[in-house]
A and B are shown apart, each in its own frame.
Chain A
Amino acid sequence: MAKKPDLLPGTLDMLILKTLTRAPLHGYGIALSIKRLSDDVLTVEEGSLYPALQRLLLQGWVKAEWKMTETNRRARFYTLTAAGRKQLGVELSQFEQMIAAIGRVLQDAQEA
């Protein structure tokens, strides 16, 4: 089994929040969505996903509701809250700053 790259530390919350901007999803849906959107590069470990969801719930960035799926099963759907949207903005800008900074360093290293 080829080793997949680990998620960058601290990015899981941001990815979950981003995934939820399109539509409410259940846990499995979130994991699947991240996997597909990243072309199978990023895998969310279930061991991290559910604790992370509890954390986001606690912070009030997402809401959870039990709903029926298309296949008529009960599942917990997570919805982004206004606070969550704001938090996503914060995390995105921090992330972009970070990426830009890393990029500059790498570029500098190449030129040297």
Chain B
Amino acid sequence: MEPLNLFLKKLRLLVTRKRFGSELDEEMAFHRDQAEREFIDGGMTAEAAKHAAMRQFGNSTRVKEKSHEAVGFSFESVWQDLRYAARQLASNPGFTAVITLTLALSIGANSAIFSVIEGVLLKPLPYPHSEQIVRLFLTSAEYPKFPLNPFDFLDFRARNKSFASMAAFTRDDMQLSGSGEPVQLSGFGITSGYFRVLGLKPQLGREFDFNAEIPGNGQQVILSNRLWRTRFEGAADIVGRKITLNMKPYTVIGVMPEGTEHPGNDYHSLPYGESVDVWWPFEFEGNSSQRGSHYIEGVARLKDGVQPAQANAEMNAMMAQLGREHEGDTGWNVLVIPLYREVVGANQRMLWVLLGAVGMVLLIACANAANLLLARAAARQREVAVRLALGAPRRRLVRQMLTESLLISLLGGGLGAALAEGGVRALVALLPAGFPRAHDIHVNALVFAFTFLVSIATGVLFGLAPALQASRIDPKRGLYEGGRSSTGSARQGRLRNALVISEVSLACVLLIGAGLMLRSFLNQLHLNAGFKKDHVLTASLSLPQAVYKKDTDIARFYDRLMANLSTLPGVESAGAGSDLPWTGYDENAGGFTIEGKKAPPHQEFHARYHMATPDYFRALGTPLVRGRFFTEADKDGAPYVVIVNQAMAVRYWPNEVVIGKRFTFADAPKEKDWFTIVGVVADVKDKPSSPGAEPAFWWSHLQQPSRDMLVVIRASSDPRLLVDSLRDQVRRLDPSLAVADIRLMDQVADESIATPRFSFFLVGLFAGLAIVLAAIGTYGVISYSVSQRIPEFGLRLALGAPPGDVLRLVLAQAAQLAITGAVAGVIVALGLARVLRSLMYNVSPADPLTFTAVGLGVVAIALIACYLPARRATRTSPMIALRTE
């Protein structure tokens, strides 16, 4: 029979279900009557025949149920189970609320973290066949990721066989004027083929051709969809129009469609997403044999079937060949990195660690739910026994109890999804600035599917053990004993203890993880920073070339500003430097000559170069290790002086007296070309997470003035009080000058550790949640066990045991669970901490302090959680205890 027909028949029977039932009843009654008559005919008494007939017929309820099942839809019994489960839950609102809320919280947290993972890691990059797109960098031992030289790029593009297309780009913003207020646009200079590499096509017009790369042809521009709509009203005739950029006319040759996302860049980076406003053609100016300057970033699309490693090998061979052709190209290799890894690589592990952490919270919530269900199953033992006795198949009972736990977990999941919606918004707000693809993080269908699956898995996970346990009840015993302590409860007790132990151990693992992250975070912040970030105000100044034409003008301005600032009340010292610590400054000077030393071949001397005024180090709190700081005397005309950091001193003058040593940038140095080292200062890393400080030196700003400087003021009290005075002092010297980026050094430092702080904050949050859940779980189990042992305690007290003994008895039980859990947790954490190694800074993954503190703390918390039930045990009245027996 065809399925449709069968379905229709079933449907008809569903509608006439009542009649179906009554007809079946009548039919069965007839059957019993017939049988009874036969027994009477066989010589039985009426009474005996009735019983015999009923016995022979068996369980009529079961027969009816089976008949219903034969003709019914399978969902009907599911519906029955659901209604039953809903009734059960509604009759026990406190229990339902506790389980549902803890699950909602943990499922919501999981969904929120998953949303981040989905948006950042799982969602494909917004380019067709994005797996073929790679980024190109130069690499050497000193500079793992270095931008390309434009003429190297041209050779790469012309000679390679691995790539379908190759392009380069570099950030350079532009000012749009003309109609309306002038605005600063984020812009990129791109080579021809840039959009072809990304697999994108202009929605209007075309992209740049090779002609545009020729110097002088570059006054063309491609607009973003957003700019086109907001500034040019989406004019259909925009292509061909001239617009004013940087006070010059540019011809619009194309408009990119909506959703044209920036693939990310290393230098002066712009956020991912639709963050670029204009693209202009990169012009290859200059002498193509000069290969020393590196400032463009490469991006390319692999040919079908070519692996990044193959392409990398080809490029390395090519680079070696270029090294033979041009002196400036020696010592480099090429780095081909898949775009995906370049975008998310650094954060991948952290996100998986977070998902792992939040998954553990969910497991703890599951264990808690399972424990609560077990406790309730014990209370429902008699009900289950009765239903078994009435012929309910065990399979059906298991299904029914699973239905109940699934209903709870789905309720929790629904609520959790709502929480996730809010949680994701909070998470995105918490993400460090510039986090890749943050704009791609949303709660979407995939996240809902994940939430749903997690909810189902959760329900089965915490429902299965209690359900199986309940179905194992022996109906006879269950009925006789009425749910009192039985052998079943010993097994249950063991299961419950195991659950609590695993809860405690998981919480322990999370706390250890959080502890390690906290220590690593604090280490980054405080360990050998090389400066003191408190009480420091910073600001940036930029002297326009039009006004400050000569070096002496620049030097004089900063000299006077510093002098004026230092006399202000509340200022301890005021200085200025080319950069601030921990801001990722990485300007290098290479190729200098050290007096009396020769650089090994292909390893020229190099170091980070900076400028500093006399009080710069004093204001930052960077200690002087040897020699002296700059003074007013280190000015133009005086012998050139430099200050080096310890890393530079150790690198180039190991075990030597550094003060008085000299180096020069001149090829044929005269006496005045030498820079003499007058001081050594403590190391400051480029970024807090850098493994160590790079060799670096400082020029005296009076001898090597720079227009763009960062002012650093150390205050004796709150540095914020000095903001107005700073503005005032600058205005007095030059009213047209803007004081930008006014920030506390504390803030600057904070931003530089935003990522470790983010992960520590979340893991800490999850660990906190975990320990609260574990404490609730321990409390629940001990509390239940106390209530089971009330008669025993009553008896003990009646026989004269001091209450303290009873207290100790209960706490000992709790301690046993907690210590077992803590030990297991410590062992698991030791195994897992390896995963965290890359997220750690200067902390051993087996840090004894963290492990000991967490282990003891967890046991203490568990004991505190059990104190209430333990106290209750000591207050047992012997009378009550005996009466319950």
Contact = CB atoms under 8 A, between A and B. Distances in A.
Interface of A: 26-28, 31, 45-48, 50-55, 57-60, 66, 73-76, 83
Contacts of A53: 67
A54 B70 contact: yes
B26 interface: yes
B70 A51 contact: yes
A interface, over-half SS: helix
A76 B29 CA distance: 11
A54 B10 CA distance: 11
Contacts of B70: 51-52, 54-55, 58
B10 A58 contact: yes
Contacts of A46: 28, 31, 56-58, 63
B23 A51 contact: no
A96 to B, nearest CB: 24
Given A28-B35, A45-B58, A54 B67 contact: yes
A47 B35 contact: no
Given A58-B9, A58-B71, A60-B1, A50 B66 contact: yes
A47 B66 contact: yes
B324 to A, nearest CB: 83
Contacts of A74: 26, 30
A3 B631 CA distance: 112
Interface in B1-47: 1, 5-6, 9-10, 13, 23-24, 26-28, 30-31, 33-35
B59 interface: yes
A50 B27 contact: yes
Nearest to B58: A47
Contacts of A57: 71
Contacts of A54: 24, 67, 70-71
B30 A75 contact: yes
B13 A28 contact: no
A48 B65 CA distance: 11
B63 A50 contact: yes
A76 B24 CA distance: 9
A83 B2 CA distance: 13
A109 B23 CA distance: 50
Given A59-B1, A76-B27, 8 more contacts: A26-B30, A28-B35, A45-B58, A53-B67, A54-B67, A59-B6, A66-B23, A76-B23
B30 A28 contact: yes
B102 to A, nearest CB: 43
A58 B13 contact: yes
Q: Number of contact residues on B: which range applies?
A: 20 to 34
11 contacts: A27-B30, A28-B31, A28-B34, A45-B58, A47-B66, A48-B66, A54-B67, A58-B10, A59-B6, A60-B1, A73-B30
Contacts of B26: 74, 76
Contacts of A58: 6, 9-10, 13, 70-71
A93 to B, nearest CB: 19
A86 to B, nearest CB: 11
Residue in B9, B10, B70 with the greatest tally of chain A CB atoms within 10 Å: B70
Contacts of B69: 51
A79 to B, nearest CB: 15
A55 B23 contact: no
Interface string B58-96: 110011101101110000000000000000000000000
Interface string B292-308: 00000000000000000
Contacts of B59: 47
Contacts of A73: 30, 33
A76 B34 CA distance: 13
A52 to B, nearest CB: 7
Given A58-B10, A60-B1, A50 B67 contact: yes
A76 B698 CA distance: 106
A3 to B, nearest CB: 15
A58 B23 CA distance: 15
Q: Which 10 A-B pairs have the closest CB atoms?
A: A51-B66, A54-B70, A28-B34, A51-B70, A28-B31, A55-B70, A51-B67, A54-B71, A54-B67, A50-B67
A26 B33 CA distance: 13
Contacts of B9: 58, 60
A47 B62 CA distance: 7
Contacts of B28: 27, 46, 50
Nearest to B30: A75
A56 B71 CA distance: 10
A51 B66 CA distance: 6
Contacts of A50: 24, 27-28, 63-64, 66-67
A66 B9 CA distance: 19
Contacts of A52: 70
